[in-house]
């Protein structure tokens, strides 16, 4: 059974006989569609928006290294630590700033 450019080792008598490739099986039936969508989508939609405004922040490599150390020590995501730092800074600099 030599195909174009493909060679196979000869089969000895004690190795059994060669078998032809199995026929392709028919495609499986697709599952019925879900009525309410997948559970992950339902969870994401039902989650309330706690922070409606997003802030993109550019930091230096030294700041990033320090932030990584603090995130490991406090076991908090970088966004939470950034939010806490901003809250502290705003509380010190702006007399009218109040977090509800």
34-91 residue pLDDT tens: 666 555 555 556 778 888 899 999 999 999 999 999 999 999 999 999 999 999 999 9
pLDDT at 98: 86
pLDDT at 48: 82
Residue with tokens 């630590």: 81
- 39-68 burial string, b = 16+ CB within 10 Å, else e? eeeeeeeeeeeeeeeeeeeeeeeeeeeeee
- In this structure, what token pair is assigned to residue 11? 């089969």
Using the predicted structure, report yes or no on whether residue 25 has a pLDDT greater than 60: yes
pLDDT at 70: 96
Using the predicted structure, report yes or no on whether residue 12 has a pLDDT greater than 90: no
């Amino acid at each position: 059974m030599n195909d174009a450019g493909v060679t196979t080792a000869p089969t000895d008598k004690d190795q059994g006989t060669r078998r032809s490739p199995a026929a392709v099986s028919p495609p499986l039936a697709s599952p019925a569609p879900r009525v309410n969508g997948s559970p992950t989508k339902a969870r994401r939609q039902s989650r309330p928006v706690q922070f409606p405004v997003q802030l993109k922040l550019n930091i230096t490599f030294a700041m990033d290294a320090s932030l990584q150390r603090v995130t490991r020590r406090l076991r908090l995501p970088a966004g939470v630590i950034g939010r806490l730092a901003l809250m502290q800074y705003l509380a010190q600099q702006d007399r009218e700033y109040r977090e509800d």
